[in-house]
Structure 1
Amino acid sequence: MNEVGFFGAIIIGIFAGYIAEKVMKRDHGLLMNLVVGIGGALVGGFLARLLGIAFAGWIGSLVVSTIGAIILLWLVAWFRGRGGRAA
């Protein structure tokens, strides 16, 4: 999360986790949305750098974090045996 600061990262993490929660049809709560969003930022940031995708600021960080959070939730569901299904 480039150029957003500590509190910006927390706010973006909550939003990214919330968006991923709705896309994947889950119901986690605020704290878990933050955890998923921050984890998604790590996953998304790693993948963006790996693919050479540049992102910066609030919008770029939110998009990358949300995509990472969706991937993270999908991976958790896959490892738990749901096969990546949204429900």
Structure 2
Amino acid sequence: MFLDILGLIVIGLVIGALARLILPGKQNISIVATLVLGVLGALIGGFIASLLGTGDIFELNVLGFVLAVVAALVLVGGYAGTAGRSSRSVRH
């Protein structure tokens, strides 16, 4: 169980970093936010892959990895869009 969680954290960091590299433009996101969004992407991708019958949610496979990166792209893009919008000053 501990190794599953540690593996999820490591792969989540990799997936979050990949999503940030693939996404065009600069995202002002901390490493912690990248980790959390990557872990969420990994969980979403693993869950969808397990629904498709490719293995367990904690099992590393190609389809799960691709789906995790796509999910992380959506999450990072959404987070960067909302975080960037709230940090801009509004001119009157």
Same fold (TM over 0.5): yes
Question: Are positions 1:14 and 2:6 aligned together?
Answer: no
Structure 2 CA distance, aligned partners of 1:62 and 1:27?
A: 24
Structure 2 CA distance, aligned partners of 1:27 and 1:67?
A: 19
For normalisation by structure 2, the TM-score amounts to: 0.59
Aligned to 1:69: 72
Q: CA deviation at 1:47?
A: 2.7
Alignment of 1:1-87 (within 5 A): 5-25=4-24, 26-50=27-51, 52=52, 54-55=54-55, 56-57=59-60, 60=62, 62-74=65-77, 76=78, 80=82
Q: CA deviation at 1:34?
A: 0.6
Tell whether the 8 Å contact from 1:42 to 1:68 is kept in structure 2 after alignment: no
Residues 73 and 45 (structure 1), Cα distance of their counterparts in 2 relative to 1, 3 Å cut: same
Residue identity over aligned pairs, in percent, reads 27
Residue ranges of structure 2 left out of the alignment (5+ in a row): 83-92
Name the aligned partner's letter for residue 4 of structure 2.
G
| Structure 1 vs Structure 2 CA RMSD | 2.7
Per-residue CA shift, 1:22-50, capped at 9, x if unaligned? 11132423111111101112222233234
User: The residue matched to 2:54 in structure 1 has which SS?
Assistant: coil
Name the aligned partner's letter for residue 72 of structure 2.
A
For normalisation by structure 1, the TM-score amounts to: 0.61
Q: CA deviation at 1:54?
A: 1.1
